[in-house]
Amino acid sequence: MKIHEYQAKEILKKHNINTPKGFVSNSVEDSLTVAEKIGYPCVIKAQVHAGGRGKAGGIKLVKNSGEAEAFVKSILNTRLVTIQSGPSGQPIDYVLVEEPCKIDKELYLGMVVDREYNKVCIIASLEGGMEIEEIAVSAPEKIIKQWVDVSIGIRDYHIRNLYERLSLPANLYKEFANCVKGLYTIFVNNDVSLIEINPLAISGETFIALDAKLVFDDNALYRLPHIVTLMDKLQENHREVLAQEHNLNYIALDGNIGCLVNGAGLAMSTMDIIKYAGGEPANFLDVGGGATKENVKEALKIILDDKNVKALLINVLGGIARCDVIAQGIVDAAQEVTINVPIVVRLEGTKVNEGRAILKESSLDIISASDLLDAAKKAVQSINNN
């Protein structure tokens, strides 16, 4: 789960990490009021869940009210397309108006979970303001890493090691240590999977977080009610939000063959086989081992809500889930949702004969498949025939 920059900075401030003075706004009038309060020049930043805003025209230093009004009008309630947003972009419902900052030096500072070492990895670089992925490819020696065992926690030697390798002035060490400790506390206390400040500016003898990104582990949200309230559902794929509400594992993709599968491993295999057969999956959707008729019905609604879906492949291996339950869910869903794309079904396992009978007796135009490869080929063929 992601949050906006302004929300991330509020969390940073609670942990004594400096951020520029700023206010968020969702209208042109409020933005101008805030800008007057801060004073010109000021920085106006589109608030979207995607990086690369500056290159995409979502950030601007404005020198007067005329420039501020024109810029906010041009971006507010539009969509910003960045290198991370996808071609459809992200909606701009808020802007952050901030005071500018005198910058002596820009750093990168972040933390991630390193699953290889089962530790928190602190990442720092003197190349702040740039994409860390680009630096990792072009100049990996400029990225400094420090691993922290969560059972021990962060220690002064961790911070000293980072600081010495960054070759920063000695008089800034205390400020840097406070910043790193604050970030680490945020990270471990809130089930964070990624936190980064880019850039972290040195301004005089102070470190200031000019930007901030926080990503939380979705699996831990049940114990993070204070974080869940920060979710902006308009920034998320609405089908993924609906799936979450119905306890379905769904990820939207760019293809045109909708997939309804029980089991995460089988779902990934199904997507692979579709690619092998020359098609493109439109989604990952796992209804789970204990799927009910209601789960299946909601899953079909979500898949068919995607206008790019031109065929539907249902692949069920009845183990914990029964084929007759899945089949009845398909029939029930068809009574509530108009299914106007070809449906390819492969059923195997528990109650398979009963499941096939339910589908056969329904009025649905079902294309039966003998195995997974046969199902994928028939799904691709059904699109090509149309």
* Positions marked catalytic: 108, 196
Task: Judge whether 289 and 326 are in contact, CB under 8 Å.
Answer: no
Which amino acid appears at position 247 of this protein? Answer: N
Collapse the DSSP code of 275 into the 3-class scheme (helix H, G, I; strand E, B; otherwise coil) and give the result: helix
Residue type, 1: M
Helices (H), the chain: 5-14, 28-38, 65-75, 132-138, 156-166, 173-189, 225-228, 238-245, 264-276, 293-304, 323-336, 352-361, 372-385
Pairing mode, strands 22-25 and 206-209: unpaired
Distance (Å, whole) CA 22 – CA 299: 42
Contact 296, 241 (CB under 8 A): no
The alpha carbon of 83 is separated from its chain's Cα centroid by a whole number of angstroms, namely 14
* Residue whose structure tokens are 């002064």: 156
Torsion of CA 36, 201, 95, 234, to 10 degrees: -160
